[in-house]
Amino acid sequence: MLLTLYKLMLIAILTGFLFSILLVVAGKYLKGKLAILSALVPLGLFVYFLQFSKRIANGEIISQTYEWVPSLGVNLGFTLDGISLIFTLMITGIGFLVFVYTAAYLKGHEYLDRFYGYLGIFMAAMLGVVLSDNIISLFVFWELTSISSFFLIGFNNKEEASRKSAILALAITGTGGLLLLAGVLILGNVAGTYSIAEMLSSKEVIADSAHYILIVLLIFGAAFTKSAQFPFHFWLPGAMKAPTPVSTYLHSATMVKAGVYLLMRFTPVLGSTELWNSTLIIVGATTMVYAAIHTIFRTDLKGILAYSTISALGILVFLIGLGTQDALLAACVFILVHALYKATLFLVTGIIDHETGTRDITALSGLRKVLLPVAIAGVLAAISNAGIPPSFGFLGKDLIYEATLHFGSSALILTVLAIVTNILLLYAGFLAGIKPFTGKLPAAFEKVHLPSFLMWLPPLILATLGIVIGVFPSIIQGALIQPAVTALGESGNEVQLKLWHGFNLILALSATTIGVGALLYFILKPSQKLEKGIAKLEFIAPQTIVEKFGVGFGKFSRFTTGIIQNGYLRYYVSVIILFLVLLTGYTLIQNTKYVIDYDSFSALTVYEVLTVLVMIVGILFTVFTKSRLAAVAAMGVVGLAISLIFVYYSAPDLAMTQFSIDTLTVILFVLVLYRLPKYLNFSDYKVRIKDGVLSLVFGALITVLALEVLSEPQGSQITDYYAENAYILAKGKNVVNVILVDFRGIDTFMEIAVLTIAAIGVFSLLKLRLTSKNRR
């Protein structure tokens, strides 16, 4: 039993959710010194996924399927292949270090347990995204990452800026989620399956379908919003309002990489077309250059890191767009490179912020004297970021140049763009990883002391890994990179990761990048002036446009709400009836023959004529009486007359119900009217005539409808079925009741639930008003 449980990937994904639920009750115990224990969750998951690496390296693909909604073809299918493995290891590995780091970073925080809860949900959702084979469940997990990241980004919810950026992030990524839903539904329809693995075989069908362009654009929309591609990038710098562990986790390894993951996952299904490749190249290149240039104008450490993250994501999208084997290999390697150095830099920034209280790069220097292990981590990360040998980053950058150089006719311009981006990224990395630690230590920072090892060890581990893998790339070559490239549909050549390729053009380009970048670092000093300079251009920034659109949309909503939801019940009723009349009337005019079959009517009896007369008198009295109470009583007469009609036409159940309902309705009306003042003013004639016309038209419509129903051939099959089977299947002789409690029992259950909700609504509305009145 334990062994089978151990194999369940579903359990692994759910662990994060279960952990969060556990915190609801056990949260107060995990807030104090035991906080570090929560890191066992990601650590356990990391080990769990690591044990698959050997099987994955042998070319195996592990998949498990659980039935979820089999009738809709939605199963919980999980697949672990090369790409998924890279992502799961990043999510759980960096997750583990972030969990550890948080224990010290937010030590003694009032809501530390909540924070771990959000992190746990987020981690579980991310694992769900990268492991789902079924695109519907992928969408569900995708949305969960958006929602849980909303809570993480807005964790400091007492600050307005924090709340605002959380909403902005949710709005942007949530819009992307809607696009994804539309995309996967159309894709599933076209492909005839919701399983990505099965889609691989119907690649041509998808590419030839009329909806191909739409599908690709919708998937792009989802990926670009999540992965902060231009022009949707602006939520990411805003999200820096979150506590640093969140920024680390979301922006180095998880959240923003989900869009990249989506593109990678769909590359074998949708890729290799002009639309796919060109769009990704253009968007990716624009993003990487645009964001890289932006890093120059920032003085906040986290701002610098935010823009360099966007730029790195641009590189990844760009590489996926190139789509050659070289490029996809470079993308797989660069994902890891970036995760390692960016997580380190974020964690280092967090320590600096935590200990000195500032992230202003112009104020920070000389911190190596007080924060030595942190300085080592920062410098190592900057080296990997810069691509200086023998770091892992050097490998990554080489592969990028190799990919752009071998890209046929546009090789030159693509390479130049890549070089410019890399130079600026190097500058940003040096600023974040080296600048705070060099130079003279200001007097203000002399008392800064090294925090607990829980904080400085995680970045040091990550930074060291960035160098170790660079020296021994074989560690990951067979286990991670090769299977990932295979999973991307490129099973041709064997991947060889090497540090030294001999003297060639790529080495020269690398050297140029490093040289120019370092030069830039020494010449260009970040300053407030630069930051203010770029602020002048903000009015054309995508963020400003989106925010203005948001404000305009809000105004428009208030305007329309003011018209439609004006608070007068009588207008609501008129609008609803008018709509019904127009829509139904239109259909009736289009499709009706107006043939009344007089023979099908039964002969009139005296009772019926009398009852109808009573009804007519009741209606006239209701309309023309001067007293409210009399009007209500007359309405009651009409209702009772209707129940009499039911009796004549042998529907005793309906008659009984109508009778009781009418009694209660009259009582309700009387109760309300009893307290109202006497008629203060009548509605004027115009309103009365308008209402009268509407009522007459509505009545006419119902009459026509009733006649139409009669002239249609009756659905006697259903009636016969119920009549025949009521006693056989449900042991009841009253067919109406049997339908209510047995055949259509679930409907009845829903109806009584709705009734309950309505009663709770009435109760809370009126009672809340009572208490607020009392308070006054």
Interaction between residue 759 and another protein (CB under 8 A)? yes
Report the 3 state secondary structure along 506-550. HHHHHHHHHHHHHHHHHHCCCCHHHHHHHHHHHHHCHHHHHHHHH
Can you tell me which of 522, 766, 774, 775 binds another protein, judged by CB under 8 A?
A: 766
The answer to whether residue 25 forms part of the interface with another protein (CB under 8 A) is: no
Q: Is 745 in the site for another protein (CB under 8 A)?
A: yes
CB of 739 to another protein, least distance (A): 10
Cβ closest to another protein, residue 18 vs residue 754: 754
Residue of 26, 72, 661, 689 that binds another protein (CB under 8 A): 661
CB of 668 to another protein, least distance (A): 6
CB 648, min distance to another protein, A: 15
Nearest approach, Cβ of 70 to another protein (angstroms)?
A: 14
Looking at 675, 678, 775, 776, which residue binds another protein (CB under 8 A)? 675
The 3-state DSSP class for residue 360 equals: strand
The helix-helix angle for 453-471 and 325-356 (nearest 10°) equals: 160
Cβ nearer to another protein, comparing 608 with 742: 742
Distance CA 498, CA 490 (A): 19
Instruction: Tell me the sheet residues that pair with 57.
Output: none
Nearer to another protein, 250 or 635 (CB): 635
The torsion defined by the Cα of 592, 593, 598 and 602, in degrees rounded to 10, comes to: -20
* Binding-residue pattern over the window 433 to 472 for another protein, x denoting contact by CB under 8 A: ----------------------------------------
| Cα R_g (the chain), whole angstroms | 34
Minimum CB separation of residue 599 from another protein in Å reads 30
Q: Please give the Cα distance from 752 to 354 (Å, whole number).
A: 56
Distance, CA of 554 to CA of 562 (rounded, Å): 12
Q: Is 749 in the site for another protein (CB under 8 A)?
A: yes
- Toward another protein, which CB reaches closer, 272 or 734? 734
Query: 388: alpha, beta or left, given left = phi > 0 and alpha = psi -120 to 50?
Result: beta
CB of 625 to another protein, least distance (A): 21
Is residue 740 a contact residue for another protein (CB under 8 A)?
A: yes
- Which residue, 623 or 754, is less far from another protein as judged by CB? 754
Which residue, chain included where needed, has tokens 């890289």? 292
Min dist CB 672 to another protein, Å, is: 5
Which residue in 423, 389, 392 sits closest to 315, CA to CA?
Answer: 423
Question: What number of CA atoms fall less than 13 Å from residue 613's CA on the CB side?
Answer: 6
Based on the shown chain and the rule CB under 8 A, indicate whether residue 752 belongs to the binding site for another protein.
Answer: yes
Residue 69 touches another protein, criterion: CB under 8 A: no
Provide the mask over 618-657, with x wherever binding to another protein is found by CB under 8 A and - wherever it is not: ----------------------------------xx--xx
* Binding of residue 775 to another protein (CB under 8 A): no
Q: What CA–CA distance (Å, rounded) separates 412 from 400? A: 13
Q: Interface with another protein by CB under 8 A: which range of 91-99, 190-198, 268-276, 748-756?
A: 748-756
Residue among 557, 592, 660, 711 that touches another protein (CB under 8 A): 660
Stretch that binds another protein, among 389-397, 431-439, 515-523, 750-758 (CB under 8 A): 750-758
Question: Residue 62's CB: how many other CB atoms inside 10 A?
Answer: 16
Long-range pairs, 523-527, Cβ under 8 A, ≥24: 524/296, 524/427, 525/362, 526/296, 526/298, 526/299, 526/304, 526/361, 526/362, 526/431, 527/299, 527/362
Number of residues that bind another protein (CB under 8 A): 43
SS3 content of the chain, % helix, strand, coil (to 5): 80, 5, 20
Of positions 561, 663, 703, 719, contacts another protein by CB under 8 A: 663
Give one DSSP letter per residue of 206-238, joined into a string.
HHHSTTHHHHHHHHHHHHHHHTT-TTSTTHHHH
Output DSSP code: residue 39. Answer: G
Q: Do 570 and 685 meet the contact criterion of CB atoms below 8 Å apart?
A: no
Q: How near is the Cβ of 734 to another protein at its closest, in Å?
A: 6
693 is an interface residue for another protein by CB under 8 A:
no
Place of tokens 């055949």: 743
Q: What are phi and psi of 465, to 5 degrees?
A: -55, -40
| Comparison of 175 and 657: residue with beta carbon closer to another protein | 657
Shortest gap between Cβ of 761 and another protein (angstroms)? Answer: 9
Identify residues 510-529 at the interface with another protein (CB under 8 A).
none
Report the amino acid identity of residue 149: S
Three-state secondary structure call for residue 486: helix
* Interface with another protein (CB under 8 A), residue from 213, 687, 689, 753: 753
Q: Does 767 bind another protein (CB under 8 A)?
A: yes
Cβ proximity to another protein, 447 vs 733, nearer residue = 733
Tell me if 321 sits within 8 A of 277, measured CB to CB: yes
Closest contact distance (angstroms) between CB of 611 and another protein is: 20
Which of 671, 680, 709, 718 forms a contact with another protein (CB under 8 A)? 671
DSSP-based three-state secondary structure for 75: strand
Between 578 and 672, CB nearer to another protein? 672
DSSP 632-651: HHHHHHHHHHHHHHHHHTT-
Binding region for another protein (CB under 8 A): 652-653, 656-657, 660-661, 663-664, 667-668, 671-672, 674-675, 729-734, 736-738, 740-742, 745-746, 748-749, 752-753, 755-756, 758-760, 762-763, 766-767, 769-770
